[in-house]
């Protein structure tokens, strides 16, 4: 039982390049979230989804897009990467809105 | 913006001692959650306490919640070197779709 799996684990991009981060969960959870973690700032919510086919903006959505075409997958896209998007990205899922979240191990993204 | 403020930012103790971390928040909540993060890993859920609860225990962990003061504390008793990690509080609002707002975290170091 893998839980929440994030790919890739590490990536280095050049400014202006695009990429997609993949989050997959095998727990049949309805809710999924993308956070970013910067030094000294805790985690901030980028986008979230309350079910297959739905997405919504979080606290820091600018420069990112998401899709949830399948219930088990939540994709985070950077269309034109900027150095300010250098961060560690975490995906999380939960079965209902009132239960704890399960986190992946993160994607470490550096943009030069 | 960060909902929670955690105190202290860093805590260094000896094995066997107790560790107390505090969290304050600004708006009304549905529940408050504590997570642990080991270096280079994702967050692991510790305890969820609902707004109508005042205290919860799990093994060596004790969490209190004072909604009148908008504050919570996490007590780890008889600390072990393996408890060395960052600890985060996170709050969920009433109609938040499970969205969490994280504090900046407390870095706990337990010396053998």
CB B3 within 8 A of CB B103: yes
**pLDDT tens-digit readout, B74-83:** 999 999 999 9
Predicted pLDDT of residue B1: 45
Inter-chain CB proximity B96 and A103 less than 8 Å = no
Distance (Å, rounded) from C-alpha B37 to C-alpha B43? 5
Cα gap B97→A92, rounded to integer Å? 13
- Any CB–CB contact under 8 A between B31 and chain A? yes
Helix, strand, coil shares of chain B, percent, nearest 5, are 5, 55, 40
Question: Out of B45, B101, B102, whose CB is closest to A100?
Answer: B45
Interface with A, mutate which of B9, B24, B43 (most A CBs under 10 A): B43
Q: What is the pLDDT of residue A39?
A: 84
Q: Within 10 Å of residue A38's Cβ, how many Cβ atoms?
A: 13
Measured from the Cβ of residue B66, the count of other Cβ atoms closer than 10 Å reads 12
pLDDT-flagged residues of chain A (< 50): none
Tens digits of residue pLDDT in B76-102: 999 999 999 999 999 998 677 889 999
CB contact under 8 A, B100 and A43: yes
């Amino acid at each position: 039982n893998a839980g929440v799996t994030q790919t890739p684990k590490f990536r280095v991009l050049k400014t202006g390049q695009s990429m997609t981060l993949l989050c997959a969960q095998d727990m049949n959870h309805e809710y999924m979230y993308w956070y970013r973690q910067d030094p000294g700032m805790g985690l901030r919510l980028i986008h979230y989804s309350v079910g297959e086919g739905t997405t919504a903006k979080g606290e820091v959505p600018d420069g990112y897009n998401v899709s949830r075409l399948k219930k088990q997958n939540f994709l985070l896209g950077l269309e034109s990467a900027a150095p300010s998007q250098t961060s560690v990205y975490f995906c999380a899922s939960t079965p209902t809105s009132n239960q704890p979240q399960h986190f992946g191990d993160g994607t470490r993204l550096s943009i030069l | 913006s960060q909902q929670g403020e955690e105190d202290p930012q860093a805590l260094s103790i000896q094995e066997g001692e107790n560790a107390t971390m505090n969290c304050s928040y600004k708006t009304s909540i549905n529940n408050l959650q504590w997570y642990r993060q080991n270096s280079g890993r994702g967050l692991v859920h510790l305890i969820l306490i609902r707004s109508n609860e005042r205290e919860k225990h799990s093994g060596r962990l004790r969490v209190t919640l004072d909604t009148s003061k908008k504050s919570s504390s996490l007590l780890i008793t008889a600390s072990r070197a393996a408890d060395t990690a960052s600890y985060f509080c996170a709050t969920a609002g009433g109609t938040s779709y499970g969205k969490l707002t994280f504090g900046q975290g407390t870095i706990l170091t337990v010396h053998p």
